[in-house]
Amino acid sequence: MKSTLKDILFENPIWKSIVREDIRPSEWLKTKTLGLGLINVFLFVILTLTGILLMFYYVPDTGKAYQSMKDLEYVISFGMIIRNMHRWAAYLMIISVFLHFSRVFYMAEYHKPRQFNWVIGLMMLLCVLIMGNTGYLLPWDQKSYWGMTILSNVISSIPVIGGKLKYLVLGGTEVGQNILTRAFDMHVKVLPLVLGFLMGIHFWRIRKDDILAGSFLHENPTAPAAENRPGSDDPQGQNDIGWSDIITRESSKCLLILAIVMGISLLLNAPLEEVATPSVTPNPAKAPWFFLDLQELISWGPPFWFGIVVPSVVVLFLMLVPYLDRGQMGTGQWFHPSRRIQNILFTAFVTIIIGLIIIGKFMRGPGWVFYWPWQSWPSP
Confidence band of 216 (pLDDT split at 50, 70, 90): very low
Is 32-216+244-325 a CATH 1.20.810.10 domain? yes
Looking at residue 212, its pLDDT comes to 57
Looking at residue 15, its pLDDT comes to 62
- 295 φ/ψ angles, rounded to the nearest 5 degrees: -65, -40
201-231: b (≥16 Cβ within 10 Å) or e: ebeebbeebbeebeeebbbebeeebeeeeee
Looking at residue 91, its pLDDT comes to 96
Q: Average the pLDDT over 103-114 and give the result.
A: 88
Confidence band of 373 (pLDDT split at 50, 70, 90): confident
d(Cα 252, Cα 247) in Å, to the nearest integer? 8
Asked whether the beta carbons of 272 and 141 are under 8 A apart, the reply is yes
Looking at residue 234, its pLDDT comes to 46
- 370 φ/ψ angles, rounded to the nearest 5 degrees: -80, 135
What SS3 class is residue 89? helix
d(Cα 198, Cα 43) in Å, to the nearest integer? 16
Half-sphere exposure of 344 (CA within 13 A, CB side): 5
Give 99-107's long-range contacts (Cβ < 8 A, gap of 24+).
99/36, 100/36, 100/37, 100/40, 101/125, 102/346, 102/350, 103/33, 103/34, 103/36, 105/321, 105/342, 105/346, 106/334, 106/335, 106/343, 106/346, 107/32, 107/330, 107/331, 107/332, 107/333, 107/334
Closest C-alpha to 291, from 356, 350, 234, 343: 356
DSSP per residue over 7-72, as a string?
Answer: HHHHSSHHHHHHH-TTSPPPHHHHHTSTTHHHHHHHHHHHHHHHHHHHHTT----TTTHHHHHHHH
Q: Which uninterrupted H or E stretch holds 267?
A: helix 243-267
Confidence band of 224 (pLDDT split at 50, 70, 90): very low
DSSP 76: S
Confidence band of 374 (pLDDT split at 50, 70, 90): confident
Average pLDDT, the chain: 84
Looking at residue 205, its pLDDT comes to 84
Q: Is 23 a residue whose pLDDT tops 50?
A: no
Q: Is 229 a residue whose pLDDT tops 80?
A: no
Looking at residue 35, its pLDDT comes to 77
DSSP per residue over 192-254, as a string?
Answer: HHHHHHHHHHHHHHHHHHHHHH-TTTS--TTSPPGGGSTT-S-TT-TT---HHHHHHHHHHHH
- 141 φ/ψ angles, rounded to the nearest 5 degrees: -105, -175
CA 57 to chain centre: 26
Closest C-alpha to 115, from 319, 333, 375: 319
- 156 φ/ψ angles, rounded to the nearest 5 degrees: -70, -15
Asked whether the beta carbons of 60 and 181 are under 8 A apart, the reply is yes
Q: Is 31 a residue whose pLDDT tops 60?
A: no
Looking at residue 235, its pLDDT comes to 44
Looking at residue 153, its pLDDT comes to 86
What SS3 class is residue 280? coil
Looking at residue 239, its pLDDT comes to 44
Q: Average the pLDDT over 101-126 and give the result.
A: 91
- pTM for this structure? 0.83
CA 270 to chain centre: 18
d(Cα 24, Cα 29) in Å, to the nearest integer? 10
d(Cα 69, Cα 276) in Å, to the nearest integer? 13
pLDDT tens for each residue of 133-185: 999 999 999 999 998 988 888 888 888 888 899 999 898 888 999 999 999 99
Looking at residue 61, its pLDDT comes to 94
The mean-pLDDT minimum among 72-81, 122-131, 331-340 falls in 331-340
DSSP 4: P
Confidence band of 218 (pLDDT split at 50, 70, 90): very low
pLDDT tens for each residue of 38-96: 899 999 999 999 999 999 999 999 999 999 999 999 999 999 999 999 999 999 999 99
Q: Is 226 a residue whose pLDDT tops 50?
A: no
Looking at residue 220, its pLDDT comes to 41
DSSP 284: S
What SS3 class is residue 275? strand
Query: Phi/psi class of residue 141: alpha, beta or left (left: φ > 0; alpha: ψ in -120 to 50)?
Result: beta
